[in-house]
Amino acid sequence: MAEHKYRFNQNTLNFERIRVSGWQKAKRTALALTPGLLLGVLGIFLAFQFIDSPKEATLRRENQQLMVEYELMNKRLADIENVLGDVQRRDDNVYRVIFEADPIPSSVRQAGMGGVNRYKDLQGYASSDLVIATRKRLDKIAKQLYVQSLSLDELASLVMRKQDMLASIPSVEPIPRDKAQVSSGFGERMHPILKIQKQHLGLDFTSPIGTVAHSTGDGKVVFADYSTNGFGIHVIIDHGFGYETLYGHLSAVKVRVGQHVKRGDAIGLVGNTGLSSGPHLHYEVHKDGTPVDPVNYLFNSLTPEEYARMIEISRNAGQSMD
């Protein structure tokens, strides 16, 4: 049986029973339970803050693994960037120099991805900065690889063109050394007929009349006839790439205008036509319309010693024969 509580009433001088209402009972119960509830809520809060659920623990481990993978991927990207940079440097400073092509401007190689925000969908996440930075590096590498692939395509075409150019450059003697001798070189000389100091724009190869003169490079014959310009019967070959050669004072021609010739093909016979003081071949090389010293191009048919000797002879040769 529940124990009842009483209180003394001074007015009636009697003990009266204390009656507690239902509300008061509920209030007292609530006050008694409040500390426990607070402790329980605090415990649950701390548990959620510092103790992972199995699912959260799994996600945390996966995130840690992803961060490790990102770090490894960024190191790999750095290696790729270094290799690509080395390829770009060799492309500009070696390959394109060899094939006489201009280097690709850095503004083209390093061009960014303009326009709308390409990474909008990646924003708003905890790892957005890392993901966006990685994507930007990948996009930059992809752009640089595209530019480099275009450069390699261009170099491939330049290789084919270079082969044609190497075959076209007039780089051998027009008459074999055992059949001719250089009698005059490039530079100012006394003209044997006009008796004045005159610029001699080629090499004179002394040889008997009828000796075969050869094309010094692949090309197309653009003149093969007699002219009153002092060269008499002569042949002019357009080799392309800005090169032309002239073979003067011939006694006869072996080619016709429009004919394509290869290096070493017979183009005429040594003679003494035009303003000439004796049988010889006057040989000129023109680059982009300007006469240049032919001796600088005789590197394919001479050893280094023979080439040095040829330069010495051409420099010291006296009066020209035309």
pLDDT in tens, 201-228: 888 898 999 999 999 999 999 999 998 8
Per mean pLDDT, which range of 15-19, 111-115, 256-260 is the poorest? 111-115
Burial class (CB in 10 A: 0-12, 13-18, 19+), 256: exposed
Confidence tier at 286 by pLDDT (50, 70, 90): very high
Q: How far apart are CA 120 and CA 238, in angstroms?
A: 60
Confidence tier at 1 by pLDDT (50, 70, 90): very low
Write the single-letter amino acid at 127: S
Average pLDDT, the chain: 80
Residue 78, classed as helix, strand or coil, is helix
pLDDT at 144 over 80: yes
**Domain 177-316: top CATH class:** mainly beta
Q: For 13, what's the count of Cα atoms within 13 Å in the CB-facing half-sphere?
A: 0
Q: How far apart are CA 246 and CA 19, in angstroms?
A: 137
pLDDT at 145 over 90: no
Residue 95: its pLDDT value, please?
A: 77
pLDDT at 140 over 80: yes
Residue 45: its pLDDT value, please?
A: 73
* In the block, residue with structure tokens 């990474």: 119
Work out the number of other CB atoms within 10 angstroms of the CB of residue 311.
16
The residue ranking higher by pLDDT, 247 or 303, is 247
pTM greater than the 0.85 cutoff:
no
Residue 190: its pLDDT value, please?
A: 64
Confidence tier at 236 by pLDDT (50, 70, 90): very high
Cα 71 to chain centroid distance, Å, stands at 30
The length of the chain in residues reads: 322
Average the pLDDT over 55-59 and give the result.
Answer: 73
Average the pLDDT over 270-282 and give the result.
Answer: 88
Per-residue model confidence as pLDDT tens digits over 91-134: 888 778 777 778 888 778 776 655 557 777 777 666 777 777 88
The residue ranking higher by pLDDT, 44 or 242, is 242
Residue 11, classed as helix, strand or coil, is coil
Q: How far apart are CA 171 and CA 294, in angstroms?
A: 9
SS3 content of the chain, % helix, strand, coil (to 5): 45, 25, 35
Domain ranges of the chain: 6-50, 54-168, 177-316
Give percent of the chain above pLDDT 70.
Answer: 82
Q: Give me the torsion for CA of 303, 304, 305, 308, rounded to 10°.
A: 120
